[in-house]
Structure 1
């Protein structure tokens, strides 16, 4: 179902702080035109947890409409309880999303057993396929063995999105799942290790840098698929350098957003949440720095 580069899209903001659907649709169309293989709204890069439930629904619907069947849409859902998560799964299915990505329940720190039970019940009741989303930097880590059991025992758990950056965990996921479920989607969300993850067996990536440099991220994937290892390494090195430049700006995903603005892929907006005046004042300089980083990475206008 999911192979290649699925962009974890930013959520453009309107002047009133709401969702700018026109900019969202334009960005989605631009990304598809650059050759990406799918779209992933409402993830960490899209600040899904900072949106209201209604805003997330609007983002999902607008993205599915913009994709218009040209590429699959994987949308982020999830809350602190099962019923809210299921309601968003149902809405995603109504909009035509191919699947949903779900983190462990937020705020409390559930045990591995509780996480597994949550996903079992979700998979049993969701009308759309579920990807287990492991992102230890923002949510309770989901152990490899839990994901493996879910993959083997729950047909409606259709993949995993792993943003740990742990190559050894990726090897374990691929080696223990793919022999029995070759259709299971294993995606990496860590831009700095896209190529090693592909070599380990991942079928693709959800890489935030693609918001500003989709052709570079796609190049890593395409070069790997073609067996051109030297070119793939060179592209990965450029991708990692650009990724580091973005991560070094503000709080995530500030650098991702400012790089997309510097590229002209999104209109400039102020952050959704309040920031110190000094940080906002520094955005113009950050855009110039990131524009230079894009140029150094070989990304054109």
Structure 2
């Protein structure tokens, strides 16, 4: 029996760390529940946002096992299964199939830059031997690109290859893939990994996305998906603009994915310090970024303003002057925060 096409918003799962930089299982389970309760269609562990290269093979397997156990079939799981070679990747596919995972996502070979012929041969070997459905993962900034002829050929030759996740952000490339594949594989799924183009990608025929922003504001990303598919374009456009602002701040003002980790902290989770060492300057920048993100999230009601308040929106001025803070507002915010923490009554 053919399974349903992969569609909707699949959240690339961040992994919380404990004080020893080990997997914080309890916090990860809480995070999974929170994402599902807020409407994401599926979960995507062991992707780029999940820092899969910073974990061992056994840790990657444990992450998926925890998420599968906590999810209990409520939403499908698309698990990253890319290992260093075909043999280890197929072993990962076998293990994730045993956990009841819906499909795996496999990035093209990284480190070595391969020709399209080699990329095709790599995925053909996997597609002919995998016990689980496979999603191709095209992320040309980190790995050998998967071109349109290769996607078309694999879709026609390998029944188990059922989808592609494309993180190039290139709308024409997505259109060309859909045009090449859909006539012969109408059930083949197209997912975008680039949050800044989610709405236009859906409009040209994408089935959904694996979007890092959904790990921070799942409510917003899901709403954008629903509004776009229902044809409420004006409302969707406004949300897409807001999402781009948030996405750009998280991805460009810190080492990836530290900006996303900082934002998830603001939603109430203890993410811990990542395994990538940071300089003192980077830590200071991350602290500044957290404040900026808190102001952005508070504007939409997702968290309180930071102590001291937030800058006025561009074009507005307080009574003291265009560039001076509103003292009453700052004092009020500080007092409210102190009361919330129980430091004053």
- Residue 27 of structure 1 aligns to a residue in which SS? helix
CA contact (8 A) 1:80 1:107 kept: no
1:274 shift after superposition: 1.1
Q: Which of 261, 264, 270 matches 2:265?
A: 261
Distance 2:248 2:285 in 1: 18
Q: 1:268 to 1:74 in 2, by over 3 A?
A: closer
In structure 2, distance between residues paired with 1:35 and 1:127 = 29
Instruction: Please list the CA deviations of residues 13-67 of structure 1 after superposition, one character each: whole Å capped at 9, or x if unmatched.
Output: 1221121111111111100000000000000000011110000000111111111
* 156 and 268 in structure 1: CA distance in 2 versus 1, 3 angstrom threshold: closer
Instruction: Name the counterpart of 1:287.
Output: 290
Shift of residue 224 of structure 1?
1.0
In the alignment, the residues of structure 2 paired with residue 276 and residue 262 of structure 1 have an alpha-carbon distance, to the nearest angstrom, of 22
Contact 2:165–2:191 at 8 Å: present in 1 too? Answer: yes
Q: What RMSD, in angstroms, separates the aligned Cα atoms of the two structures?
A: 1.2
Q: Is the 8 A contact 2:15 2:271 kept in 1?
A: no
Question: What SS does structure 1 have at the residue aligned with 2:221?
Answer: helix
Distance in 2 (alpha carbons) for counterparts of 1:269 and 1:278: 18
| Cα distance between partner residues in 1 of 2:125 and 2:63 | 25
Moved more, 269-278 or 232-241: 269-278
CA distance in 1, matches of 2:215, 2:106: 21
Look up the match of 2:302.
300
**Structure 1 equivalent of residue 280 of structure 2:** 277
Residue 190 of structure 1: aligned partner: 194
CA distance in 2 between counterparts of 1:110 and 1:294 reads: 42
Q: Which residue of 2 aligns with 1:225?
A: 229
Unaligned runs of 5+ in 1: none
TM-score computed with the length of structure 2 as normaliser: 0.84
**Could you give the per-residue CA deviations for residues 215-274 of structure 1, whole angstroms, max 9, x where no partner exists?**
11111100011111111111111111110111122211111111111222x214112121
Instruction: Tell me the distance in 2 between the aligned counterparts of 1:120 and 1:220.
Output: 35
Q: Give the TM-score, by structure 1 length.
A: 0.96
**Contact 2:9–2:221 under 8 Å retained in 1:** yes
Q: 1:43: which partner in 2?
A: 47
| 3-state SS in 2 of match to 1:71 | coil
**Compared CA separation, residues 299 and 114, structure 1 to 2 (3 A):** farther
Does residue 13 (structure 1) correspond to residue 17 (structure 2)? The answer is yes
Structure 1 residue 153, shift from structure 2 partner:
1.6
Question: 1:280, CA displacement in angstroms?
Answer: 2.0
Q: Which residue of 1 aligns with 2:8?
A: 4
User: Separation in 2 of the partners of 1:26 and 1:268?
Assistant: 11
Decide whether the 8 Å contact of 1:31 with 1:214 is kept in 2: yes
Query: Out of 145, 164, 169, which is 1:165 matched to?
Result: 169
Distance (Å, rounded) in 1 between the aligned partners of 2:211 and 2:236: 16
Name the SS of the counterpart of 2:76 in structure 1.
Answer: coil
SS in 2 for 1:131: strand
Match in the other structure for 2:306: none
Q: Evaluate the alpha carbon distance shift between residue 287 and residue 99 of structure 1 in structure 2; reply closer, same or farther with a 3 A threshold.
A: same
CA distance in 2 between counterparts of 1:212 and 1:219 reads 14
- Is 1:252 equivalent to 2:264 in the alignment? no
Q: Distance in 2 between matches of 1:88 and 1:102?
A: 10
Whole-Å separation in 1 of the counterparts to 2:128 and 2:245: 42
Q: Where does residue 86 of structure 1 map in the other structure? A: 90
User: How far apart, in 2, do the equivalents of 1:215 and 1:262 lie?
Assistant: 15
Query: Shift of the alpha carbon at 1:140?
Result: 1.4
> 2:169 is paired with a residue of what secondary structure?
coil
CA radius of gyration, larger in? 2
